[in-house]
Amino acid sequence: MRVQLGRLQLEWDPEQDRWSGLQDRQTGWWLIGPGSPTGVANGTELHRPGGVQATSVPRPSSVPYPTSSLPPSGGVQPANRSQAANPLAHALVELTARDEQGRMHYWYPVARGAAPTARVEQGVNGPEWWLVWPQVVEPAEGDRDGGGDADGQRTWPVEVQVRVVASAACPGPGIPPEGTVWTVTVHNQTPLTIVEVLFPCIRGADWGGVDECLFYPHHAGERIPSPRQTLCSERYRAFGRAASFVDQQGRYAREINYCGLASMMWMDYTSAQGGFYVASYDPEFLLTGLRVEVDGTNHHTGGDNAVNPWRLGLAIRKYVPIRPGQEWCSPPVILAFHDGDWHTAAGWYREWFTQSPGWGRQAAALPSDLATESVVTPWYDLRRAEGVLHRFDELPAIYDDLAERWRSRHLFLAGWNRGGFDSQYPEYSPDMELGTAWQLLAAVQHVSRQGGFVTFYINSRLFDRNSFYYPTLGHAWMIRDTHGAIHQEQYGPAEFGVCCPAHAAWQQHLRHCAQWQVQAYGARGIYYDQLGSAEPFPCYAPEHSHREADGQLHHGLYNQGYVQLLEETSRALTRLRPDSFLMIENCGDLYSSRVWASLVWNGTLYDEFFRLFKYTFPQLNLVQMIQPRTAVTNVEEKRLLFERDLAEAWLLGSIFWVHAPRLERPSGVSPEEAERMVGLAQGVLALRRAVAAHLARTRFVDTDDLAVLDQAANSAVPDPGEAWSGRGHESSVPPRPQRATHWVGQDEASRPVHLVLVAPTRERLAVRVQKGDRPNNQQESATGCAGEQAATRWAWWCWQWQPPAGLQVAGEAVVQQKSGEELVGPDGWLVLPASLPGVWQAWWLAPAEAFGPEWIKEG
């Protein structure tokens, strides 16, 4: 019997009374299918039949995968076991329970505990697939791999029910048209509390190596090429907070928590054949782990049954308490295959989130003048670990200098507090050696008189262990792990404990500090550092205020705590100053939709695919660092990366973060080269200011409906962040970055308009833009192409800036303007005049009737 679940085809074996296969009919991929020795009873496999992939160079199926090609892992390698001997490694659901001593117990619903029942039910809108386990298994101590004697295992009375339905049975925002919706219900009949649910665990994914890539929401986004190899690499196993590790079952794993390290609750595993979308549509926005695994446990040693052991796993973890006698039903997890690339998946998640309770943009009444803000000039050089650098009475002259040279009215102050930057948090009072509170107020008032405004830095997360208050308030406000221990982190010479954002007392302290800085010192903006950047943790502190409606402690409300902080602080500041605003470090959909802007920082290159977040949420503002990277010592590399960062900030329409001391005096760079960097940044910033009003009225759509051809090579320009390892060979030559982005909108008369931003290239570029729908065009064909009678004359306006010859750039950057008209062709594309090499450009396109004298005057 076969049952259709959208694009998925379910095969039912009535003799065995079980599901024998769940297949994507379009791509041929199987979810639980033939060739998987674990079968439906033991877990989930995602692969093509027989392990043969549709690759340009098929991988031999008769030899084992060469383990020597994997990088060393510090002496730890995934275990060499067969799939059949390791059922726990393929469990569809994994549960973690906590006893009264804080010890964790790991439970798995697998066939060795009790065979599941499987059935098909006819729901209101279509068939439903059900799997039910009456109990779970806890392996014996030291037998987490499940390969030991069954007599050493313990069973627990926990009923687990998995339900899968087609999208048609669950219509709603962001539901893919032919996807599937997965939920799990857990009924806990044990004396322990279940605290984590990992579901669904989809393991064994393998697109076959053809343009294979994982899009992962670490900070503003990562594009991870060849993830089955990359995640095992040395660089990813040394990736700070977000590093890969070898788990107790011998898998390379990487897991980041939302909302903080993970900015969104979705992932997309793509190749030239399409993509596989995994997303949590959680209306409560619980603390959530996004887990990626590289599975090496199913290593066959050769022969006809050999399979590629290095395959990908994807899973979602929820931190939720399920107490004795309670039942919990998970929020839906969406699994869907799709054609095209990651943009399709981003659109689905955007549609769901912007219609969910998490979308806070409507509630954030942002001051209108900030819509065209182009630059933030931070000043960290007050007090740092090296001592006092500048004092409060120097700030007026510092601001005047920055305003003159960088045309900035936004002064961002860090290191103003007692002890200076990264010290004595959270004692947010003016450092006495920098001057008096009155002098700080006078400096802010000077900035205001000059037409500017000031943002104050507050760390939203850390408590200095050297603070006088650490033994009292610090210990009371800290996050506690399952054993009652605190989380400690070190920045520079200072050591800190991590405070709990869901605890009311800590929230109040942060909110009142912000209110006082606006009321007493005249701040307009408040920046909460680390809020969207650092690692979120569950908190088990028994005296904390994060609780459920019945008063019971809930350890997974980290996100709700920060949302409450942002919303209550925003309301409080607005009462004090209607034009006030909030900023945060890095981004997260829950947080960024409640603030003016999120600061994303330029770290390692493989941690920078900012357009993943920007395309998913084009309405949200990013502030992007453009200063040279201090960690890079090679001068030529430093220059190239600086130009790359500048181009990306321009193409994404980001607000420029210009830390003047670092940009004007980069380490290891000659004065002449430093002056050239400064001139380049000032020129592109002048161009951004010229088009700021048009950026504000359009929406970023990345490369949708945009064709960019390098006329010299006559080939499409690859996306930024693409690893140069595909195309059938490896190369150390980096790819050329994307050089144009597309923005769409409507003018005051509801006519379609386009904005195209172009970064400089060595060759001329041919740029074409899909014109889009035109409201007055009654002859538009069903395909969206204009008929001959419907041809409309489009006009263009171009702003451009070209760096002067030589190393030095002096004086104000001159932004040139030109205009003209182009007739749209019957193919529906607008063809821009070729972009000149080495020139930064912005093209504004609109129907010719929109280009009246008033518009030109405005432009």
Q: Quick: pLDDT tens for 70-83.
A: 333 332 333 333 33
Reply yes or no on whether the pLDDT at 370 is more than 50.
yes
CA dihedral for 544, 549, 554, 559, sign (positive or negative): negative
Q: In what order do the strands lie in the sheet with 2-5?
A: 2-5, 8-13, 18-24, 30-31, 46-47
pLDDT band at 126 (very low <50, low <70, confident <90, very high): confident
Mean per-residue pLDDT for 723-732?
28
Say which residues have a Cβ less than 8 Å from residue 550's Cβ, sequence separation at least 6: none
Mean per-residue pLDDT for 487-491?
93
pLDDT confidence of residue 749: 82
**What's the start-to-end Cα distance of the chain, in Å?**
65
Residue bearing tokens 């033991």: 42
Reply yes or no on whether the pLDDT at 725 is more than 50.
no
Residues shown for the chain:
859
Cβ 270 vs Cβ 232: under 8 Å? no
Reply yes or no on whether the pLDDT at 45 is more than 50.
no
Mean per-residue pLDDT for 637-644?
89
> Measuring CA to CA, how many Å separate 821 from each of 752, 824, 828?
16, 10, 16
Provide the percentage of residues in the chain whose pLDDT is more than 70: 77
pLDDT band at 437 (very low <50, low <70, confident <90, very high): very high
pLDDT confidence of residue 533: 94
> Measuring CA to CA, how many Å separate 298 from each of 65, 145, 153, 308?
11, 12, 22, 8
pLDDT band at 205 (very low <50, low <70, confident <90, very high): confident
- Count CB atoms within 10 A of the CB of residue 58: 10
pLDDT band at 751 (very low <50, low <70, confident <90, very high): confident
Closest CA to 216 of 278, 166, 146: 278
pLDDT band at 855 (very low <50, low <70, confident <90, very high): very low
- Count CB atoms within 10 A of the CB of residue 105: 18
Residue bearing tokens 């322990």: 192
> Measuring CA to CA, how many Å separate 350 from each of 171, 175, 344, 703?
16, 11, 10, 17
Strand partners, 765: 710, 835
pLDDT band at 781 (very low <50, low <70, confident <90, very high): very low
> Measuring CA to CA, how many Å separate 548 from each of 481, 552, 556, 568, 663?
19, 5, 10, 20, 49
Reply yes or no on whether the pLDDT at 200 is more than 80.
yes
Reply yes or no on whether the pLDDT at 299 is more than 50.
no
pLDDT band at 37 (very low <50, low <70, confident <90, very high): very low
State which amino acid sits at residue 589: D
Cβ 810 vs Cβ 679: under 8 Å? yes
Closest CA to 418 of 498, 518, 532, 494: 494
Q: At what angle do helices 671-696 and 635-651 cross, to 10 degrees?
A: 10
Widest CA span of the chain, in angstroms? Answer: 86
Q: Which helix (H) or strand (E) holds 292?
A: strand 288-295
CA–CA gap between residue 724 and residue 721 (Å, rounded) = 9
pLDDT confidence of residue 791: 52
Can you tell me whether residue 679 is helix, strand or coil? helix
Q: Which residues of 682-715 are buried (b: 16+ CB within 10 A; e: fewer)?
A: bbbbbbbbbbeebbeebebbbbebbebbbeeeee
Mean per-residue pLDDT for 729-756?
71
- Count CB atoms within 10 A of the CB of residue 724: 15
pLDDT confidence of residue 424: 93
φ/ψ (deg, to 5) at 396: -55, -45
Pick from 37-46, 253-262, 494-503, 630-639: least confident: 37-46
pTM of the model: 0.88
- Cis amide prior to 426 (ω within 30 degrees): yes
φ/ψ (deg, to 5) at 128: -125, 140
Pick from 374-388, 407-421, 471-485, 820-834: least confident: 820-834
Pick from 427-441, 492-506, 509-523, 710-724: least confident: 710-724
Q: Which two tokens stand for residue 205?
A: 């994914």
Burial class, 407, CB count within 10 angstroms (exposed 0-12 / middle 13-18 / buried 19+) = middle
pLDDT confidence of residue 826: 59
Can you tell me whether residue 106 is helix, strand or coil? strand
Reply yes or no on whether the pLDDT at 854 is more than 50.
no
pLDDT confidence of residue 325: 97
pLDDT confidence of residue 68: 27
- Cis amide prior to 259 (ω within 30 degrees): yes
Phi-psi category of residue 250: left, alpha or beta, with phi > 0 → left and psi -120 to 50 → alpha: left
pLDDT band at 232 (very low <50, low <70, confident <90, very high): confident
Strand partners, 582: 526
Reply yes or no on whether the pLDDT at 309 is more than 60.
no
Cβ 261 vs Cβ 291: under 8 Å? no
pLDDT confidence of residue 825: 62
Q: At what angle do helices 437-449 and 395-406 cross, to 10 degrees?
A: 30
Reply yes or no on whether the pLDDT at 137 is more than 50.
yes
pLDDT confidence of residue 761: 77
> Measuring CA to CA, how many Å separate 155 from each of 15, 320, 371?
28, 22, 59
Cβ 309 vs Cβ 204: under 8 Å? no
Helices (H), 383-450: 395-406, 437-449
Residue bearing tokens 């059938």: 728
CA–CA gap between residue 760 and residue 650 (Å, rounded) = 11
Closest CA to 50 of 629, 59, 41: 59
Mean per-residue pLDDT for 717-744?
48
